[in-house]
Amino acid sequence: MLEIHDLHATVDGNEILRGIDLMVNKGEIHAIMGPNGSGKSTLAKILAGHPAYEVTRGEVLFEGRNLLELAPDERAREGVFLAFQYPVEVPGVSNAQFLRLAYNEKMKHFGDEELDPLEFKDLLSERAKIVEMDSSFMTRSVNEGFSGGEKKRNEILQMAVLQPKLAVLDETDSGLDIDALRIVAAGVNKLRTPDNAIILVTHYQRLLNYIIPDFVHVLFRGRIVRSGGKELALELEAKGYDWIKDESEAAPVGAAGA
Amino acid sequence: MAPPERKEFMTAQAIKERSLYRAQFEALRADTGARFPSWVGRLRAGAIERFEELGFPTTDLEDWKYTNVAPIAKTTFVAASSDEARTATADDIAPFIYPEAARSRLVFINGMYRDDLSSVDDLPEGVVAANLGDAFSGVHAETLREHLARLASDEPDAFTALNTAFFDNGAFIYVPKGVRAEVPLHLLFLSDATTEQTISFPRVLVVAERESETTVIESYAAVGDGTHLTNAVVEVCVGEGARVTHYKVQTESERAFHIASTWADLGRDGVYDGTTITLGAQLSRHGISVRLDHPGAECWVDGLYLVGTGQHADTHSLIDHRQPHCISHQNYKGILDGKSRAVFNGRIFVHKDAQKTDARQSNKNLLLSNEARIDTKPQLEIFADDVKCAHGATVGQLEEEELFYLISRGLHNELARNLLTYGFAEELVEKIKIESIKTQLDEAILNRLHARLEV
């Protein structure tokens, strides 16, 4: 589903990604871990098409197509979804209004029937159950006045409505208390199917107790320096990131990778 | 320096402008003077003199620095005759009426009252909503004498003077002590601009006695696309503990000139909640002056202006804190598209005795094009020492992060932009408590954005 080859990227002229290689098949959950500043969020934003990041080398294929050639809204309609680390507040626009527009844009894209506000309301209340959000959130402005946990749940609600093929969850666990974490994780698990794929970007192993990844990758200084199964996350939890840092600094450039 | 020939010409032009209105004034006096009591005659005579002294304002005046009314001064406007005002039909006004006020509505065409299009069946006992021109001889003659031009008289403002000299019809609203008017009172001022260069002088006096409660909608619209001038003056007297909610909705044609002033004063613990929506006219100016004249009074003075190419919208406000323990809230938002221009001048005056004043002002502007221009200026004059005053003005474009967020959910760029712009305006639209006004504004805003958002 997703193939990343030798991806290099800069923001404001600074090179953040220095040759990422990653292969994600449908039905898989990949966790990308790493210390702060390693490039995890940059990778997530590049997949979504954030304009502040410039790809300087490499390629990204999504279902065989060049993802980097697609505008961010096209990527979304084609099925790429980014759950933001810091969801944005949009004053004056209700959650329901926004979600229906997004849903209908996708329907239109595939030539399917759009839903009117009443039909959409039914769909929305059903999907909202996945993240245990009550209907009062639907009439409120997008993320405005939401707590940190509510914002993250709202991201997963958007995922539930749009049902992407590839979901990239950027530190969706950070700032959540254990109850909120359980709700978010349960929501993601319910949305998992054999046909979609999920990339979890996280700093902590904690989330992976609730969403079990098939693969864990460690990102450090813009490269994937180690890949493994879910036990790698436990190893990281036990040893910390310093071990990775020491090891990767000792290794010759380009030797580490997926 | 202008060459002397030009100066001479301007002088000649100015004399011509003034004599034009003087001639109309004399004709009006001969024609309708007998219908009004003598004190109104004296008021008018004083007003036309003041207008002649002042002349139309020029951009040399600080208050008119950014708004040039020369196109008004140079045009020969003529007051519409009563006959012309009779041509508009129920079909013409249908798009502009609000169902909530179906039986509490006064309709004016080119400033002239139309009894047949109005309906005031639904008013509580004692509440008056009538043509001002008919009220001078009624039971409220003394109320009129006490309040008319009381607030709007003492300012050196040529347009207010012109209205006082020429007003004929208009609205008189009276809410007796302790009465709560459940239904909103709607004043529709429709300009029939199928004939060119008409001028109308809407005049409104609202007297809300102590502990009364009322909502007034003042709306201005146009049919036809001729040039016309609306010169309106509205006075609102809020009694002790009374509450007046006031909406002004201006959707005149893109060839209209709209010069209006609103004057309110508040009794002890009185509340004035005003919202002004400006969507129409090529040139509009709204002066709003709220006088907090007794302790405990509180006002909201909010507004939204949404202008596009060829439009100029000017708001000048004065919140006059004269007594202690008064609160004022002010929230104006502007959306400027294309080659448009707007002015916001927010003056807050806190008198020496007005301790414990709490005054807040915000003016946020969204510029959708590089050719749009806004001049925004807070003007705080504070003479008391124990006060809270907060003000802020912003001018900006759509937030890139907000835009990306929406786009990353599959919304096309233009749709995302429109949605954010709509959201920017919603804070003020949501405040409005009358559903049909909200719907009208949503539609107008979306139309203006050429957006196909269904909301």
The answer on pLDDT for A116 being more than 80 is: yes
Give the pairing of strands B198-200 and B228-238. Answer: parallel
Q: Residue A3's closest CA among A171, A166, A194?
A: A166
Say if CB B208 and CB B176 are below 8 A apart. no
Kind of pairing between the strands at B203-208 and B228-238: parallel
User: Which pLDDT score is estimated for B14?
Assistant: 66
> Is the minimum CB–CB distance between B451 and chain A shorter than 8 Å?
no
What confidence tens digit (pLDDT) does each residue in B434-448 have?
A: 999 999 888 888 777
Give the model's pLDDT for residue B95. 92
Structure tokens belonging to residue B455: 């909301």
The CA distance from B58 to the nearest CA of chain A, in Å, is 39
B400 → chain A, closest CA residue: A51
**Chain A: residue nearest B402 by CA?**
A88
Select the more confidently predicted residue: B412 or A249.
B412
pLDDT bin (cut points 50, 70, 90) of residue B15 is: low
- B411 in reach of chain A (CB within 8 A): yes
Q: Which residue has the higher pLDDT, B378 or B453?
A: B378
Structure tokens at A134: 């009550």
Q: Across the interface, do A90 and B422 touch by the CB < 8 Å criterion?
A: no
- 8 A C-beta contact, residue B202 and residue B108: yes
Size of interface A-B (CB pairs under 8 A): 81
- Cβ neighbors of B360 (< 8 A, separation 6 or more) are B328, B329, B330, B389, B390, B391
| Structure letter (DSSP) for residue A116 | -
Domain ranges, residue A237 = 2-250
Q: Distance, in angstroms, between A160 CA and closest chain B CA?
A: 12
Kindly tell me if the per-residue pLDDT of B194 is higher than 80: no
Most confidently predicted of A84-98, B138-152, B236-250: B236-250
Question: Which of B409, B430, B455 lies closest to A102 in CB terms?
Answer: B409
Give domain status of residue A225, yes or no: yes
> Which tens digits make up the pLDDT trace of A8-59?
999 998 999 999 999 999 999 999 999 888 999 999 999 999 999 999 999 9
Which pLDDT does position B452 carry in this prediction?
52
User: Which of A41, A53, A95, A98 would you mutate first to test chain B, the one with the most B CBs within 10 A?
Assistant: A98
**CA B377 vs CA B317, B363, B364: distances in Å:** 11, 9, 11
Q: What is the dihedral of CA B16, B17, B20, B26, to 10 degrees?
A: -110
Which residue of chain B is at minimal alpha-carbon distance from A89? B402
Percent of all residues in chain A with a pLDDT value above 70, rounded to a whole number? 96
Query: How sure is the predictor about A256, in pLDDT bands with cuts at 50, 70 and 90?
Result: very low
Q: How confident is the model at residue B302 (pLDDT cuts 50, 70, 90)?
A: very high
Which residues of chain A does B455 touch, with a Cβ-Cβ cutoff of 8 Å?
97
> For residue B424, what is the DSSP state?
H
Cα distance from A114 to chain B (closest Cα, Å)?
Answer: 12
Q: What local confidence, expressed as pLDDT, does residue A254 receive? A: 46
- Judging by DSSP bridges, how do beta strands A197-202 and A2-11 pair with one another? unpaired
User: What is the percent of chain B where pLDDT is above 90?
Assistant: 74
What's A167's domain CATH number?
A: 3.40.50.300
Query: Using one digit for the tens of pLDDT, what is the confidence trace for B198-240?
Result: 899 999 999 999 999 999 999 999 988 889 999 999 999 999 9
Q: Is residue A255 part of a domain?
A: no
Determine the pLDDT at residue B138: 86
Question: What does the pLDDT read at residue B76?
Answer: 84
**Are A73 and B455 a contacting pair at CB < 8 A?**
no
Q: How many helices, marked H, and strands, marked E, lie in chain A?
A: 9, 12
Instruction: Please write the tens of the pLDDT for every residue from B54-97.
Output: 999 999 999 999 999 999 988 888 887 666 667 788 999 999 99
Residue A92 is nearest to which of B400, B410, B424, comparing CB atoms? B424
Q: How sure is the predictor about B358, in pLDDT bands with cuts at 50, 70 and 90? A: very high
Residues B189, B201: Cα–Cα separation, whole Å: 10
Pick from A50, A93, A97: CB nearest B404: A50
- Position A109 pLDDT exceeds 60: yes
pLDDT, residue B378, reads 93
Mutate to test the interface with B, among A41, A73, A163 (most CBs of B within 10 A): A73
- Whether A41 contacts A171, CB under 8 Å: yes
How many structural domains does chain A have? 1
Q: Which of B124-128, B269-273, B314-318 has the lowest mean pLDDT?
A: B124-128
B407 to chain A, closest Cα gap in Å: 5
Which of B313, B21, B15 lies closest to B161, judged by CA? B21
**B167–A contact, CB cutoff 8 A:** no
Cβ neighbours of B416 in A, within 8 Å: 73
- Which of B405, B407, B453 faces A84 most closely, judged by CB atoms? B405
d(CA B15, CA B7): 12
Between B266 and B430, residue with greater pLDDT: B266
- CB–CB of B404 and A93 under 8 A? no
| Cβ–Cβ under 8 Å, residues B154 and B320 | no
Which chain B residue lies closest to A72 (C-alpha atoms)? Answer: B408
User: Rounded mean pLDDT of chain B?
Assistant: 90
Q: Taking CB atoms and an 8 Å cutoff, what residues of chain B touch A89?
A: 402
What is the edge-to-edge ordering of all strands in the sheet holding B243-251?
B112-113, B105-109, B185-192, B213-223, B243-251, B271-278, B298-307, B327-336, B358-367, B388-396
Does any CB of chain A come closer than 8 Å to the CB of residue B121?
no
Subunit contact A102:B415, Cβ cutoff 8 A: no
Bigger pLDDT: B154 vs A212:
A212
ipTM higher than threshold 0.90: yes
Could you report the per-residue pLDDT of B254-264, keeping only the tens digit for each?
A: 899 999 999 99
**Contact (CB, 8 A) for B332 and B315:** yes
Residue B6 has pLDDT above 50, yes or no: no
Residues A203-242: tens digit of each pLDDT: 888 899 999 999 999 999 999 999 999 999 888 888 888 8
pLDDT for position A255: 42
- Site of tokens 């709209």: B258
Of A50, A72, A90, the CB nearest to B420: A90
pLDDT tens track for B383-398? 999 999 999 999 999 9
SS3 labels along B386-420:
CCEEEEEEEEECCCHHHHHHHHCCCCCHHHHHHHH
Q: Is the pLDDT assigned to residue B124 strictly greater than 60? A: yes
> Higher confidence at residue B53 or residue A257?
B53
The pLDDT value recorded for residue B334 is 97
Closest Cα in chain B to A158: B409
Round the average pLDDT of chain A to a whole number and report it.
91
Q: How far is A203 from chain B (nearest CA, A)?
A: 23
Position B155 scores a pLDDT of 67
Q: What is the pLDDT of residue B8?
A: 43
Task: Find, in chain A, the residue whose alpha carbon is nearest to that of B407.
Answer: A73
The pLDDT assigned to A203 comes to 87
SS3 category, A216: strand
Instruction: Confirm if B389 and B294 have CB atoms less than 8 A apart.
Output: no
Residue A102 to residue B410, Cβ atoms within 8 A: yes
Query: What pLDDT does residue B453 have?
Result: 56
Task: Mark yes or no for CB contact A90/B423 under 8 Å.
Answer: yes
Q: How deeply is B437 buried, as exposed, middle or buried, from its count of CB atoms within 10 A (0-12, 13-18, 19+)? A: buried
Task: Quick: pLDDT tens for A147-206.
Answer: 988 999 999 999 999 999 999 999 999 888 999 999 999 999 999 999 999 999 998 888
Task: Return the pLDDT at B382.
Answer: 96
- B414 has a chain A CB within 8 A of its CB: no
pTM for this one?
A: 0.86
Q: Which of B409, B426, B453 is the closest to A158 by Cβ?
A: B409
pLDDT tens-digit series, residues A141-159: 999 999 988 999 999 999 9
Q: In this complex, do B454 and A87 lie within 8 Å of one another by their Cβ atoms?
A: no
User: CB–CB of B424 and A51 under 8 A?
Assistant: no
